[in-house]
Amino acid sequence: MSIIINGSPAALPADPRTSLLDLLRDTLSLPGTKKGCNQGACGACTVLVDGDRILSCLALAVQYDGRHVTTIEGLAEDGALHPLQQAFVVHDGFQCGYCTPGQICSAIGMAAEAKRGIPSHVSEDLSADVVLTRAELQERMSGNLCRCGAHNGIIDAISEYNTEVAA
């Protein structure tokens, strides 16, 4: 049984109680993914599994046998920041930075959902193509809290990334 983390296989834990979050942080020494609430309420632990954003604190690692997990550590290529990471720097998308890895992984998963045509709670027409307005971004990112209140910079960064890079 193994799980692929940022392209490299890792052994699944012997104890099925281990969450994907604890596997990443404690066993694999990948502390970029953060533990905020450990109960699904803050989004700090967001990672991508086969491209979908999920909460690693509520995920039992054994359930993800054979799946591909991407964490914040897996985004930069050849030492160059991922364009969304760069946009967070440019737009002051953080203060303390604790929520940032989760925000960035979440926003990458969100862009893929929008491309697949998944509507949101604020979409007026459920059948129309998704247009990522500011209201759409705020709703779609509501699973990621920021205790420092850097939300405006966060939305600016994601908005730039979606119009210039992900489009």
Ligand X SMILES: Cc1cc2nc3c(=O)[nH]c(=O)nc-3n(C[C@H](O)[C@H](O)[C@H](O)COP(=O)(O)OP(=O)(O)OC[C@H]3O[C@@H](n4cnc5c(N)ncnc54)[C@H](O)[C@@H]3O)c2cc1C
Q: In what order do the strands lie in the sheet with 68-70?
A: 8-11, 2-5, 68-70, 46-49, 52-55
Under the criterion CB under 8 A, does residue 112 sit at the interface with other proteins? no
Q: Which does 121 bind (CB under 5 to 8 A by kind): ligand FES, other proteins, ligand X, none?
A: other proteins
Q: Which does 148 bind (CB under 5 to 8 A by kind): ligand FES, other proteins, ligand X, none?
A: ligand FES
Buried/exposed code over 45-58 (b: 16+ C-beta within 10 A; e: otherwise): bbbbbeeebbbbbe
* Interaction pattern, residues 92-111, with other proteins; x per rule: CB under 8 A: --------------x--xx-
Q: Which does 96 bind (CB under 5 to 8 A by kind): ligand FES, ligand X, other proteins, none?
A: ligand FES
Minimum distance of ligand X from residue 37's CB (angstroms): 8
Under the criterion CB under 6 A, does residue 41 sit at the interface with ligand X? yes
Comparing CB distances to ligand X, the nearer of 29 and 39 is 39
Is the CB of residue 127 less than 8 Å from the CB of residue 110?
Answer: no
Beta bridge partners of 52: 49
Of residues 10, 86, 95, 139, which one binds other proteins by CB under 8 A?
A: 139
**Chain position carrying tokens 């953080």:** 94
The full DSSP string for 117-130 is: T---TT-S-TTSPP
Under the criterion CB under 8 A, does residue 36 sit at the interface with other proteins? no
